[in-house]
Amino acid sequence: MMRMMGCWYMRWVIRSMVDGSWPDPSGSNTNNGTRLVRAIQNFQIKLNSKLQELRKGLVMKVLFFLLGFYCAAAFATVIGQTGDWDILFAGIAVVVVKAIGALMYRASFHILDKLKSLIAFFNYWKADLSLGLFLDAFKYIFQPISNPI
């Protein structure tokens, strides 16, 4: 602590939450810019790395995403024709969605490490399959009732 103008001031050491570094106690800033500038630069670096990660296999991700929506429309159309198999196919769809989710988010399953990218692609398929089935359900809810008169 130091005494300035009759008041007691305490110097607080604040740790940066962005990069985990401690400020220089001598007060000389060896880095260019303030902590705010460094925080913005770190955010830009992290954002650019995330965008580069998303760009890997973008065409296959979009393909599997659209394929999931197509499969949802096909399942709803074909299964809805008979009406007898609805419960069985709904159960199978739930099992498939849960199995893909379990494979995708299980971190300690070392056997499937080589297939991680393929499982990630099927996760996109699963997401749009679920969305497509959800949206397809609204087709049947909002059908107008025709008047037989």
Whether residue 28 sits in one domain with residue 14? yes
* 61 domain-assigned: yes
Shared domain for 135 and 102, answered yes or no, is yes
Higher-scoring residue by pLDDT: 109, 42: 42
Non-local CB neighbours of 56 within 8 Å, separated by 6+ positions: none
Task: Kindly report the backbone phi and psi dihedral angles of residue 91, in degrees, each rounded to the nearest multiple of 5, phi listed first.
Answer: -65, -40
Indicate if 135 and 66 belong to the same structural domain: yes
72 and 41 housed in the same domain: no
Name the pLDDT band for 136 (thresholds 50, 70, 90): confident
- Give residue-wise pLDDT tens across range 1-42: 444 554 554 555 455 554 555 555 555 555 567 888 889 999
Residue 28, helix vs strand vs coil:
coil
CB atoms within 10 A of CB 127: 17
Same domain, 76 and 118: yes
Are residues 46 and 73 both part of a single domain?
no
Give me 95's structure tokens.
């099992």
**149 falls within a domain:** no
Whether residue 75 contacts residue 96, with contact meaning beta carbons closer than 8 Å, is answered with no
Give the count of domains, the chain. 2
In a domain, 146, yes or no: no
Domain contains 136: yes
Enter the pTM of the model: 0.56
The reply to whether 135 and 96 lie within a common domain is: yes
Please give the pLDDT value at position 47: 93
Residue pair 16/35 in contact by the 8 Å Cβ criterion: yes
Q: Decide: 68 and 133 in contact? Cβ < 8 Å.
A: no
Q: Is the domain of 73 the same as that of 120?
A: yes
Is there a single domain that holds both residue 36 and residue 66?
no
pLDDT tens-digit series, residues 74-86: 888 887 677 777 7
Let me know whether 48 and 78 are in one domain: no
Judgement on whether residues 24 and 81 belong to the same structural domain of the protein: no
For 75, the domain range is 57-141
Q: Which two tokens stand for residue 114?
A: 């080589």
Q: How far apart are CA 90 and CA 133, in angstroms?
A: 10
